[in-house]
Amino acid sequence: MAILVLGGAGYIGSHTVYQLIDAGRDVVVADNLETGYRAAVHPDAVFYEGDIRDRAFVDSVFEKETIEGVIHFAANSLVGESMTDPLKYYDNNLCGTKVLLESMVAHGIDKIVFSSTAATYGEPERVPILETDTTEPTNCYGETKLSMEKMFKWTSQAHGLRFVSLRYFNACGAHVSGSIGESHKPESHLIPLILQVPNGQREHISIFGDDYDTKDGTCVRDYIHVTDLAQAHVLAMDYLMRGGESSIFNLGNGIGFTVKEVIDTARMVTGHPIPAKVAPRRAGDPARLIASSEKAKHILGWKPEHADLKHIIETAWKWHKAHPDGFAREK
């Protein structure tokens, strides 16, 4: 019996495959390689190239392999792009999930762990954010993820499937081995952009706004190591296998760091002065996003092990220094 990881060639997906294999699981990966990389897929995983919107493809994987549960990462995830091309997000994230669920129901596969996001909350009513807080996404990406959660909810009621939705805060860092890491093209996330400066690929880092109501005026985020996120997926699948009921969990460290604090820590790790310039605010950025992950700790037994920001940036630096251009596209 294997776990099927959809989107297992992407950033968080590839790290989850490594954690599953370390835990002794058989893993099948399916990915359309649109934003993921073949080289990110663990060599011990069985790999299928294909798209979840293609029903024949999804059916064929369920027919060839003995799948006991699905972990679903196959989605587009760029906030800015979701605002300029919303229908791309509806097509891939929602239509893709619809096809996947139809095929799961047809094949009697009843467990799914799904990657959701803090963007489902929108501007938070308070921090730390609880799973029961209001969800009013301020961008199309968050809206599609929230709609996917609802699709799981209603499908689970009608067809008896069970799901766990994991709402990530700011995923970052890289596998401690240095063999896999973040490789987005174009890159839009803070830590990899900062590290482009000591890597000689960027003159300075822009700070998007320094007039927020925070301790140094820059935005506060909850940075959570990708291996800790990956481990939560393994635990969530175990939970469903033990008969756990459908549920939603936040995943973060519960600690907020400002943009300036992240830059200072990167200066310390890399020994580079990393010049920074203040730029205008980025549209749609809430001042503060911090998770309460008590529920995941209590119910899933999740314990982040890479919570220290310096350690997080060290793992990211190890990866980016050795792979300044990320993964090469092999297609």
Q: Which residues are catalytic?
A: 141
C-beta of residue 68 within 8 angstroms of C-beta of residue 104: no
**Is residue 207 involved in binding ligand UDP (CB under 6 A)?**
yes
**Is residue 190 involved in binding ligand UDP (CB under 6 A)?**
yes
**Is residue 170 involved in binding ligand UDP (CB under 6 A)?**
yes
Q: Which amino acid is present at 43?
A: P
**Is residue 134 involved in binding ligand UDP (CB under 6 A)?**
no
Binding map of ligand UDP across residues 78-107, x = CB under 6 A, - = no contact:
------------------------------
**What's the min distance (Å) between Cβ of 16 and ligand UDP?**
19
In angstroms, the CA 226 to CA 56 distance is 32
**Interface region with ligand UDP, contact rule CB under 6 A, candidates 7-15, 188-196, 229-237, 317-325:** 188-196
Select the residue whose beta carbon is closest to ligand UDP and give its number: 219
Structure token pair of residue 259: 């943009």
Binding map of ligand UDP across residues 275-314, x = CB under 6 A, - = no contact:
-------x--x-----------------------------
**What's the min distance (Å) between Cβ of 54 and ligand UDP?**
29
**Is residue 189 involved in binding ligand UDP (CB under 6 A)?**
yes
**Is residue 219 involved in binding ligand UDP (CB under 6 A)?**
yes
**Is residue 193 involved in binding ligand UDP (CB under 6 A)?**
yes
**Is residue 185 involved in binding ligand UDP (CB under 6 A)?**
no
Q: How many Cα atoms within 13 Å fall on the side-chain side of residue 194?
A: 28
Residues of this chain that interact with ligand UDP (CB under 6 A) are 170, 188-190, 193, 205-208, 219, 221, 259, 282, 285
